[in-house]
């Protein structure tokens, strides 16, 4: 995805995967200071430590407690979280008034960023297999949110009444613990819904297939993957990448 963006912009850059042990992270970041690299993405398990090691983390990354994009300016390591940039863009594009009821499924790292992006939604229900994890997240970031276990009998009605449904759990992810499944019971989606599934493998998850069949508007996880990558690219280069080329590269890789 990033290589396609660099090629499209005519920039002689490469994007490489580095295997980094936790104890090596600080010295890798020094390589940004020395100019060996122009920027990094970091992923699990380094997202929290990268934020803590940065000299100037941006406030949203601090609120989420994790960074995924690093770069250096004037000798100081900056850190940002472009998952939140992507989620905000997606939620804005859904054009749903924040007074409308919304549902967020999941309580892991992705849900945490989604909850920050959904900050203005004040009729929010959090659904999760382990409701205590959602409660802890809500207490910190969205105290007014309602919390329900994913298998609660009220879930179908809550989902039916919502306008926006965001799946930030790994239910439906190929190779994951709940592959081939939708987190919601059948028959609760309709034409009034916007359904955004962060899972991107498969691109059309069981939740999105159900949503499409019911006439909902759907947004897939690849859209978010590309948007967060595009936001990282813009940070590093000061340019807008060719997002369509990035998406095509992802589709080829998946």
Contacts of 12 (CB under 8 A, 6+ apart): 6
Distances (CA, A) of 75 to 31, 83, 120: 11, 25, 36
Smaller CB distance to ligand NAP: residue 61 or 173?
173
Q: Can the peptide bond before residue 190 be classed as cis, meaning omega within 30 degrees of 0?
A: no
Return the number of other C-beta atoms located less than 10 Å from residue 22's C-beta: 9
The minimum distance between CB 35 and ligand NAP, in angstroms, equals: 29
Smaller CB distance to ligand NAP: residue 135 or 160?
135
**Token pair of 189 as six digits:** 């989606």
Smaller CB distance to ligand NAP: residue 216 or 228?
228
Active site residue 47: yes
Residue nearest ligand NAP (C-beta atom): 108
The minimum distance between CB 99 and ligand NAP, in angstroms, equals: 26
C-alpha torsion angle, residues 106, 108, 110, 115 (rounded to 10)? 70
Residues forming the site for ligand NAP (CB under 6 A): 83, 106-111, 128-130, 133, 150, 168-171, 173, 177-178, 198-200, 221, 224-225, 228
Return the number of other C-beta atoms located less than 10 Å from residue 6's C-beta: 17
The minimum distance between CB 121 and ligand NAP, in angstroms, equals: 18
Of these residues, 28, 47, 129, 247, which one is catalytic?
47
Q: Which residues are the active-site residues? A: 47
């Amino acid at each position: 995805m990033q290589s396609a963006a660099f090629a499209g912009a005519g920039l002689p850059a490469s994007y490489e995967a580095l295997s980094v042990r936790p104890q090596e992270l600080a010295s890798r970041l020094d390589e940004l200071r020395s100019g060996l690299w122009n920027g990094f993405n970091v992923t699990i398990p380094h997202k929290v430590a990268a934020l803590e090691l940065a000299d100037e983390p941006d406030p949203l990354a601090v609120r989420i407690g994790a960074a995924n994009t690093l770069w250096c300016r004037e000798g100081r390591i900056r850190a940002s979280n472009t998952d939140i940039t992507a989620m905000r863009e997606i939620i804005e594009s859904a054009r749903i008034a924040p007074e409308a009821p919304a549902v967020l499924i999941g309580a892991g790292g992705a849900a945490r960023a989604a909850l920050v992006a959904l900050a203005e939604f004040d009729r929010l229900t959090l659904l999760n297999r382990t409701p205590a994890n959602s409660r802890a997240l809500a207490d910190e970031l969205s105290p007014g949110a309602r919390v329900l276990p994913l298998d609660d009998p009220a879930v179908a009605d809550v989902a039916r009444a919502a306008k926006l449904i965001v799946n930030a759990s790994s239910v439906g992810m190929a190779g994951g613990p709940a592959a081939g499944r939708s987190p919601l019971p059948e028959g609760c989606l309709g034409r009034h819904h916007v359904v955004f599934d962060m899972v991107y493998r498969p691109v059309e998850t069981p939740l999105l297939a159900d949503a499409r069949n019911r006439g909902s508007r759907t947004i897939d996880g690849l859209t978010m993957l590309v948007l967060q990558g595009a936001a990282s690219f813009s940070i590093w280069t000061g340019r807008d990448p060719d997002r369509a080329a990035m998406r095509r590269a992802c589709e080829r890789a998946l």
